[in-house]
Chain A
């Protein structure tokens, strides 16, 4: 069978790729895509710990499903914000959106 550490290293790698995207991309939609990568790594990690820890207890899967719902609402609100900003400022570059900056 597959050792637990393989899964953990894979999810760590996925999370770090997403972190790099969030920190370095200029396009706001690309940042949102990287956030989805990070959330997916987290959900996979939850399921891995459920499977290797307490597979008879269903609460691990319920936890992952709640994270799915949060991820879906985050994507919807985030994209609505990006579209609204694009409509008002005609840009989606994160470093041009500096209305709140002093």
Chain B
């Protein structure tokens, strides 16, 4: 086993175990912190895959923005569902079965396909050249400027939509309130 494989196994184990903790942890705030560890593990795997820009994006956007947003939402809604309450719905046994079957099928397919099996090597690539190319291709009219602009419009629309949906209730709407 080479050093790279040992690092991969360590990172993969951390990522997987903290992902399991995210879904089984009875206290939501702990689940949010385990989610941060999972995202950090995935960022480490990006480094291992020689995609350093994506690792930075993962840390800044996922850990810095999304995970913190989720932790804020947990704290804003924390009076509900205390840790002693029921955390799973009545379908949890079916959910375990479906997840295990899907994992078994995916693993079977991966191991059966000879081109994906052990021995496949990553191709060589020059990372610093790639990073420049990534930056240029995002603003190049002939390449990815349309997806880039669509993504920015999507983010703007999501921002406006989130503000509109989560705004405090107006006095005139109080009558709509149920209970």
Contact = CB atoms under 8 A, between A and B. Distances in A.
Interface of A: 1-10, 12-21, 23-27, 29-30, 32-34, 36-37, 40, 43-44, 47-48, 50-56, 58-59, 61-62, 64-66, 68-77, 79-84, 86-95
Given A25-B87, A40-B62, A79-B166, 6 more contacts: A6-B12, A10-B16, A52-B123, A56-B130, A72-B65, A81-B166
A87 B169 contact: yes
A29 B87 contact: no
B174 to A, nearest CB: 10
Contacts of B165: 77, 80-81, 84
Given A13-B16, A68-B61, A76 B5 contact: no
Main secondary structure on B side of the interface with A = helix
Interface residues on B, range: 35 or more
Nearest to A54: B123
Nearest to B152: A69
B84 interface: no
A4 B116 contact: yes
Given A73-B154, A83-B73, A27 B137 contact: no
Interface string B66-105: 1101101110110011000011110110111011101100
B95 A26 contact: no
A75 B57 CA distance: 16
B136 to A, nearest CB: 9
B46 to A, nearest CB: 6
Contacts of A59: 137, 144
Contacts of A20: 23, 95-96, 98-99
B120 A4 contact: yes
A47 B92 contact: no
Contact of A3 (B92, B99, B118, B124): B118
B110 A2 contact: no
B54 A23 contact: no
A61 B56 CA distance: 13
